[in-house]
Structure 1
Amino acid sequence: MRIGRRPSLGLITASLLLGAGAVPASAPAQDNKGHPEIKVDDDGTLHVPELTVPTSSFLTPEGKAFLTYQLKSMKDPRSKILPPGGELPFFMIPYLKSAEQMFKVDIKETKVAGIPAMVFTPKDGVKPENRNRVLLNLHGGGFMGCYPGCGKLESMPLAALGGYKVIMIDYRQGLDHKFPEASEDVAKVYRELLKSYSPKRIGIYGCSAGGILVGQSLAWFDKEKLPMPGAAGIFCAGMTLSDVQFGGDANFISAPFGEAQMPAEPPPPKGAGLPPIPYFNKVRYDDPLVAPANSLELLAKFPPTLFITGNRAFDFSSAIYSHGRMVKAGAEADLHVWDGLFHGFFMNPAVPESQDAFDVMIKFFGKHLAR
């Protein structure tokens, strides 16, 4: 996801003010401790002065060091450059090296229903309880690349730690492809898997763009009259889209605290918003096939779904809102939030918080996929 520039006085949400010494709009220029005034517009827009924000006290020492590495990496000019093809961004290369050391898996390149894919299996074999189960991973990368790099970071832990066969596919992305081509690719692969697996023994998950695509794929399965899989994981994402990233408060909170960047601009007339992701050029953000959270009727048909995010992630609000919409629709959904961490934090498998996230994922699929 791209981060836009904010107006000269950035917009920060009301929830932040609990930790920022909030004062009423009618307060004097400074409070009794000499803090600058927080200004409130008639429409509720806030103008928040400079803040000093330490790392979360709930993070492990490794987590705090990881957050610092993330924030400093985002200040590096190389972070603004999209690597070609399937290459990882420079700051993620150490994550893959760690994953290759930690997770012993066999990787096979193949095609499934004509779609390029990689199959990950544990070196010591698929666990007996998972021999008739399979996980389908939809990799991240902003619908612009990161195959196979991001997909390896998402697939290797669940294959090795969970004892699963994991299939990761190279679905069509921008710039050359547009919505709904990725959803069509996932449906092709899913149809092929249904020839060998009961739908209730298939799990589907993804992070970031892959997490968005999980929701869109479930909506597409419903459109195509396909049976729903046994469980889904929407990680580092939600099921909403807007002209400012995913929508919600996180657009304005997360960029500085999780990405060391200025908040996104609000949509017009107060700001320029953000240009759409090329893959979603000219789509309607209220279309349930694009943003399934817009339809309670659709969400009611979804399988048990796990949301994983961090409270410094720009997907944070979307994940919370999407989880709430599923609950409102009567569907089963779990939400796990890691305090102090950012978009896609578990891509680094070496930190304890990531290992805790893997444990949550494995237990969720183990519980909900039919044996």
Structure 2
Amino acid sequence: MNLRLRFALTFALLASLALLSAAPLAAQGDERLGEDGTVRMDGVSVPLSNLMSEEAREYLRHLILDKPFGTAVPDIAEERARQDAIMQGFLDPMRRRYAVDIAQDTIGGVVVDIVTPAGGVPANHSDRVLINLHGGGFVTGARSASLVEAVPLAALMQIKVVSVDYRMAPEHGFPAASEDVESVYRALLEHYEPGKIAIYGCSAGGFLTAQALARFQAQGLPNPAAAGVFCAALDGYSGGDATVLAGPLLGFLPPTPSAPRTAPPPAAGPNYMSSAQRDDPLAYPLASAEVIAQFPPTLFISGTRSFEFSAALNSHNALARAGVESRFHGWDGMFHGFIYNSDLPEAREAYAIMADFFQTHLAD
């Protein structure tokens, strides 16, 4: 596997682009990383964007220089616990900002988290529901990233959000997660009209959203009213300029010639998509123009320093060519999973756009 592909797949395994790089990290005190967050690549200095909020500029500087989230650990239980702790750090301030109630339930035989606005769902929204599919590279994020993705929309839209604890790798492979989403969707269809259901997710959850829509088609199920593919694309996470540039722009630079040599990263092992075929639209929906032409209105959210930015834009264009209503919103300088940090004005702006998109398409 070449380094570029390894770079993309490794980043896709985590909830934030700042968590890990497949390339060796720049040495401490690397002169290519300026204290103001400027990154120098091949003689070109790239400063922080002047189009970002001050809060985002300071946070991005922190990500580039301090790399606060460390690196993944081999033991899956330890890694899940580590990622859950990272997500808790995002959830705590989010819950202070957005008042919600959280409860565990089982729907269609699948464990779910039910997130509702504090005080309950108002009567005029009681017939509407959102399905959330959490991020985490199909490896982590259950009961943690799921809440970070569900809390803002439950509060802003005054709506019930059902976040699915789908099966993940390494215990399970494709299409286990799609099967779980189908089970939950079938059960919800017994109580909600399809025009009053929307489905969305971030990172792996965004990719799974696309897979789920393809599976609903294959199983003869009606489309939900709308979909949100956030921090992902209809065929995964990688491809185009963004995959090549995102890592270095976040300070994950290769070693200088004078830096001590380190061992190469270990070979990538089996992952959730290992057995999937690239031409299978249930795995990679963008492989079939016929399948994506049947998608519901879809919203894409990304950032220019997110490795999936190019792929998401390409997916948006593909839906538009197919005659599907599609919206793409990107934020300059934003990184993979930026919507997890509710302290950023850009994240809160994204929540408002999500809420408006879903409210617009959920049937009255």
TM-score of the pair, normalised by structure 2: 0.82
Spell out, residue by residue over 1:302-339, the C-alpha distance to the aligned partner (whole angstroms, 9 max, x if none): 00000000010011011001001000111110000001
Aligned-residue Cα RMSD (Å) equals 2.4
Aligned to 2:186, which of 191, 204, 208? 191
Measured in 1, the distance between the counterparts of 2:203 and 2:337 equals 7
Q: Secondary structure at the match of 1:290?
A: coil
Q: Secondary structure at the match of 1:111?
A: strand
Aligned to 2:149: 154
1:328 correspondence with 2:336: no
Alignment of 1:288-307 (within 5 A): 288-307=281-300
Measured in 1, the distance between the counterparts of 2:104 and 2:84 equals 22
Aligned to 1:255: 247
Q: Give the counterpart letter for 1:261 in structure 2.
A: F
Q: Give the counterpart letter for 2:213 in structure 1.
A: L
Alignment of 1:105-144 (within 5 A): 105-144=100-139
Aligned to 1:202, which of 189, 197, 206? 197
Q: Secondary structure at the match of 2:44?
A: coil
Aligned positions, number: 320
Measured in 2, the distance between the counterparts of 1:162 and 1:87 equals 31
Measured in 1, the distance between the counterparts of 2:318 and 2:161 equals 29
Alignment of 1:51-62 (within 5 A): 51-62=44-55
Q: Is the 8 A contact 2:203 2:230 kept in 1?
A: yes
Deviation for aligned residue 1:350: 1.1
Measured in 2, the distance between the counterparts of 1:309 and 1:369 equals 23
Alignment of 1:280-291 (within 5 A): 280-291=273-284
Alignment of 1:170-189 (within 5 A): 170-189=165-184
Measured in 1, the distance between the counterparts of 2:85 and 2:143 equals 15
1:2 correspondence with 2:1: no
**Structure 1 residues 228, 149: CA separation in 2 closer, same or farther (over 3 Å shift)?**
same
Measured in 2, the distance between the counterparts of 1:89 and 1:110 equals 20
**Structure 1 residues 77, 198: CA separation in 2 closer, same or farther (over 3 Å shift)?**
closer
Measured in 2, the distance between the counterparts of 1:275 and 1:291 equals 20
Deviation for aligned residue 1:61: 0.5
Deviation for aligned residue 1:49: 1.6
Q: Secondary structure at the match of 2:182?
A: helix
Aligned to 2:209: 214
**Structure 1 residues 181, 73: CA separation in 2 closer, same or farther (over 3 Å shift)?**
farther
Measured in 2, the distance between the counterparts of 1:255 and 1:286 equals 28
Aligned to 1:145: 140
Spell out, residue by residue over 1:203-231, the C-alpha distance to the aligned partner (whole angstroms, 9 max, x if none): 00000000000000000001111000000
Measured in 1, the distance between the counterparts of 2:270 and 2:131 equals 24
Measured in 2, the distance between the counterparts of 1:158 and 1:104 equals 11
Aligned to 1:310: 303
Deviation for aligned residue 1:79: 2.9
Moved more, 284-293 or 160-169: 284-293
Spell out, residue by residue over 1:42-92, the C-alpha distance to the aligned partner (whole angstroms, 9 max, x if none): xxxxxx724321111011111111212222353x57333375435536554
Measured in 1, the distance between the counterparts of 2:277 and 2:192 equals 34
**Structure 1 residues 192, 89: CA separation in 2 closer, same or farther (over 3 Å shift)?**
closer
Q: Give the counterpart letter for 1:309 in structure 2.
A: S
**Structure 1 residues 191, 142: CA separation in 2 closer, same or farther (over 3 Å shift)?**
same
Gaps of 5+ in 1: 8-35, 37-47, 264-271
Q: Is the 8 A contact 2:83 2:140 kept in 1?
A: no
Aligned to 1:67, which of 43, 55, 60? 60
Measured in 2, the distance between the counterparts of 1:277 and 1:337 equals 32
Q: Is the 8 A contact 1:87 1:147 kept in 2?
A: no
Aligned to 2:344: 351
Aligned to 2:99, which of 97, 104, 112? 104
TM-score of the pair, normalised by structure 1: 0.81
Gaps of 5+ in 2: 1-8, 12-20, 25-39, 255-264
Aligned to 2:3: none
Q: Is the 8 A contact 1:135 1:204 kept in 2?
A: yes
Q: Is the 8 A contact 1:133 1:165 kept in 2?
A: yes
Bigger Cα Rg: 1
